[in-house]
Structure formats: C-alpha cells, structure tokens
Amino acid sequence: MNNRCNGWLKINQLHLVLSATIVCIVCFFWGLMADAAKMPEIQDRGYLTIAVKDNLRPLGFRDVHGNLQGLEIDLAKRLGFDLLGKPDSVRLQPVANADRLSVVLNQKVDLTIARVTATESRSRLVSFSVPYYLDGSVIITNDAAIQQLSDLANRKVAVIKNSSTIAHIRYYVPKAELVGVNSYQEGRRLTENKTVVAFAADASVLSGWVQEYPQYRLLPTKLSTEPLSVVMPKGLQYDQLRRQVNQAIAQYIAEGWLQERLEYWGLP
C-alpha cells in the first residue's frame, strides 16, 4: 500500500512538471481547433461521453450478459456521478486502440479512459489526468518451477516485438533467452505449448489472463511503472473539466476507493 502510494506521488510530481513545460503555442492552437464540450455545456446536457475498452479484462470488457465491466468502467461511472451529481450520467463508447486519442481530438467524446499511458509525445496533443493506475511490465507463467526472476536465467521468455518490455527483461534477467512474438495471442500459444516458460508484457492485460485461465500466475516483481491516465482535451476553455477530473481522481486515491477497485479487479 505504501509503495503504491509513493509511486503515485512520484508519478504525479513528474506529471505536474511535464504539464508545466508543455509549449504554450501548442496549447493555443489546439484550443482553437478542438471544440469538445466544456464543463457548463456538459452540465446542461446532463451526461459525459467517455470512450472505453470493451475487450480488455479487467480494465474494460463485456460480461456474459453483454454489460460493460472493469476498473475503467467503474472509474467512468464514478466520474459521471461525481461531476454531474446524479446516477446514469455517463454514456460509454467502445473504442479501438488506434482511436483512443482521436475521438477526443475530433470532438466525438468528452474523455477517454481506455488504457492510455501518459507520455510526453501524446501530451502535445491532449491533456492527461493524474494517473489512476500504475501499469508496467510483469511476467506470467504456467510453469511451477518458475517462482522468481532468477529462475528465468537461460530459459526462453516470450516478449512482444519492439515493446519496451524487452529492455526491462534484459535489465532484470540478462541471461534470459528472449523470443519475439507479434501479439498477446501468440505469446499465450507459445506458453501453452511449452515453447517458452513465461511471457512478459503489461500487467493490465496479463492480470486478465490469470482471471480467465487459473493455470497462470504472475511473478511478484513488477519490472516497470507506466501511468495510465484519463485523456482530456487541451485548451483553456476545458480548464474546469480538467480540474474537476483531477480533483476527483485525487480524492479516489486519498479515500482508498481506487485501491479497493484495483484489488477487486485483481490488478497488481
């Protein structure tokens, strides 16, 4: 609990520094170009429109009845209630990975909460909230002999080609033999047929595997920290919306609601 809170504080400090150094002229021109709903307009309308994932357990997915569930769904609904003061005040719009930023830029939604990592390059286009989850690289295995990182020395570990996870594995387990894969599905197939003893990728995705396939388990060490944040529009006209979202998430962290939701959805 303390480590997670300390991690959040550090990421939040970095986020504030990053936000303060964004070039002002970029903010100005995006403010002219974008026209997503401002907070008074959202209040008059009576609901928020939020882009989410519908195929990524445990962040955003459909249950057996077709209802949207997951950590990000809970967060979207809580934000809608707290910002507008009434239930059923959010409309969820499933979004593909490639469109997570563009739906905000093209005024199709007010916010995106869809496993978006806050990065410097993305922050030139959109604004990011304080992080609601610290994602990062983890290792999953179905081999009982693999209990800790050192057990991976001289063993084959699958990683997604060109991913940042490769550098993390090489740092923590330099003697591991890396096997590049093109997708999570290919990584699982190689793990299932014992071509590799483990698969390294994002915690937010692999946690869902553990829930769906109980023969898998995560090794306890997280290899990196990457902040997941709410995507918000740039421009001074959206300052009230951004402030209220940030204040709400800070409150959820302080009161322990986010931690409870993380534990409920099995996120490390």
Are 150 and 129 members of one domain?
no
Are 160 and 190 members of one domain?
yes
- Predicted local confidence at residue 21, as pLDDT: 40
Flag whether pLDDT at 35 surpasses 60.
no
Are 126 and 257 members of one domain?
yes
Q: Is residue 71 part of a domain?
A: yes
Written as one letter, the residue type at 140 is I
CA-CA distance, 188 to 190, in Å (whole number)?
5
Q: Is residue 48 part of a domain?
A: yes
Are 215 and 145 members of one domain?
yes
Q: Is residue 9 part of a domain?
A: no
Are 128 and 194 members of one domain?
no
Are 152 and 112 members of one domain?
no
**Tokens matching residue 2:** 């303390």
Flag whether pLDDT at 264 surpasses 80.
yes
- What ranges in 21-127 are assigned the alpha helix state H? 24-33, 39-45, 71-84, 102-105
Q: Is residue 102 part of a domain?
A: yes
Domain of 184?
137-219
- Predicted local confidence at residue 145, as pLDDT: 95
In this prediction, residues 116-134 reach a mean pLDDT of 96
In this prediction, residues 111-135 reach a mean pLDDT of 97
CA-CA distance, 160 to 230, in Å (whole number)?
25
The pLDDT-based confidence of 8 (bands split at 50, 70, 90) is low
Are 47 and 172 members of one domain?
no
Are 110 and 49 members of one domain?
yes
Interval 199-235: pLDDT, tens = 999 999 999 999 999 999 999 999 999 999 999 999 9
Are 159 and 186 members of one domain?
yes
Written as one letter, the residue type at 2 is N
Are 89 and 121 members of one domain?
yes
- Predicted local confidence at residue 161, as pLDDT: 96
- Predicted local confidence at residue 37, as pLDDT: 77
Interval 158-188: pLDDT, tens = 999 999 999 999 999 999 999 999 999 999 9
Are 208 and 157 members of one domain?
yes
Q: String of b and e for 102-141 (b: at least 16 CB within 10 Å)?
A: ebbbeeebbbbbbbbbbeeebbebbbbbbbbbbbbbbbbb
Are 125 and 143 members of one domain?
no
How many domains does the structure of the chain reveal? 2
At 70, which CATH number? Answer: 3.40.190.10
